[in-house]
Structure 1
Amino acid sequence: MFQETYYEDYQIDSQRTTLGRTITEADIVLHAGQTGDFFPHHMDAEWCKTQDFKQRIVHGTLTFSVGVGLTANEINPVAMSYGYDRLRFLKPVFINDTLHTVVTISEKRDHHKRPEMGIVTEHLEVVNQHGDTVLVCDHLLFVSKKQ
């Protein structure tokens, strides 16, 4: 869905929650092939049985990609991604975990060089099926102001 949401339209503390997505073994294999990260933590089930979690863990970069991708159900043609800050992996994600993302508008500020633009910070919390937050980060949006 396309909806023009200008800088002035964003409200601090407003929230939205995405739909869920279950992580599969195919996701891990594909991600390993795309990134070249074949570390045994992700790929070797037998080795992982000897480690703390006793099973393979999902790549942090895959968790990030899925968590952010879930938020892409709203397209704003007057905004674009400016980057991500304060990314942290809080808990491991495993095969068959189902993730959803809670997006909270946490900050708004003027852009220092472009007065017709502002920066809106979306705080993202990626949550598993048990209600555990597994990843947090801040997504910075570069957003047009109303003319």
Structure 2
Amino acid sequence: MKTTDRWFEDIEVGDRRETVGRTITESDIVIHAGQTGDFFPHHMDAQWMATQPAGQRIAHGTLILSIAVGMTAGDINPQAMTYGYDRIRFVRPVFIGDTIHVSAEITQKTEHTRRPEEFGYVHELVTTTNQRGDTVMVLTHLYLVNRRVASA
């Protein structure tokens, strides 16, 4: 991981980054179920899922969310922190053995409503695809970012 100071003024709409792939394993699903208590049969019961339209176990949406966001966290920016996530959509199921890739693109910058001289918000569209290029999840990652002017 590298540390880079990127202030609100340094970030441009259209900035984009891509990750390498990450294959989802049965262990990922089992560990996530244990951590969250979500043992729903869609994730845990291979025999039952064989009788369902998906035909096999699917990864938890929250697992894919966690992994995808983690995949974009390779660069540490001390001037920014996560403010939240909006419009999370699990578009298609992710199965054991699928490899996901993530692209993240800055789509919007807005002023902080109460302290615009100190902070701004950066909106990043995060798109997760599988090995076939199918979109499996999308969300907007919101960052609260320090303004360079405020630190001077």
- TM-score, normalized by the shorter chain, greater than 0.5: yes
Q: Distance in 1 between matches of 2:12 and 2:71?
A: 21
Once the two structures are TM-superposed, the CA of residue 72 in structure 1 deviates from its matched residue by: 0.6
Structure 2 residue ranges without an equivalent (≥5): none
Once the two structures are TM-superposed, the CA of residue 113 in structure 1 deviates from its matched residue by: 1.0
Partner of 1:136 in structure 2?
Answer: 138
SS in 1 for 2:96: coil
The residue type equivalent to 2:29 in the other structure is I
Q: After TM superposition, which residue ranges in structure 1, 4 or more long, deviate above 6 angstroms? A: none
Partner of 1:26 in structure 2?
Answer: 27
Residues 22-50 of structure 1: CA distance to partner in whole angstroms, max 9, x if unpaired? 10000000000000000110000000010
Partner of 2:4 in structure 1?
Answer: 3
Q: Which moved more, 1:12-21 or 1:32-41?
A: 12-21
Q: Distance in 2 between matches of 1:109 and 1:89?
A: 26
**Structure 1 position 63 matched with structure 2 position 71:** no
The residue type equivalent to 1:47 in the other structure is W
The residue type equivalent to 1:127 in the other structure is T
Once the two structures are TM-superposed, the CA of residue 64 in structure 1 deviates from its matched residue by: 0.5
Partner of 2:55 in structure 1?
Answer: 54
Once the two structures are TM-superposed, the CA of residue 94 in structure 1 deviates from its matched residue by: 0.2
Partner of 1:82 in structure 2?
Answer: 83
Q: Distance in 1 between matches of 2:129 and 2:17?
A: 13
The residue type equivalent to 2:21 in the other structure is G
Q: Distance in 2 between matches of 1:66 and 1:128?
A: 13
Structure 1 residue ranges without an equivalent (≥5): none
Once the two structures are TM-superposed, the CA of residue 97 in structure 1 deviates from its matched residue by: 0.6
Residues 110-141 of structure 1: CA distance to partner in whole angstroms, max 9, x if unpaired? 00011210000010001111101100000000
Partner of 2:18 in structure 1?
Answer: 17
Q: Distance in 2 between matches of 1:20 and 1:6?
A: 28
Identity among equivalent positions (%) equals: 55
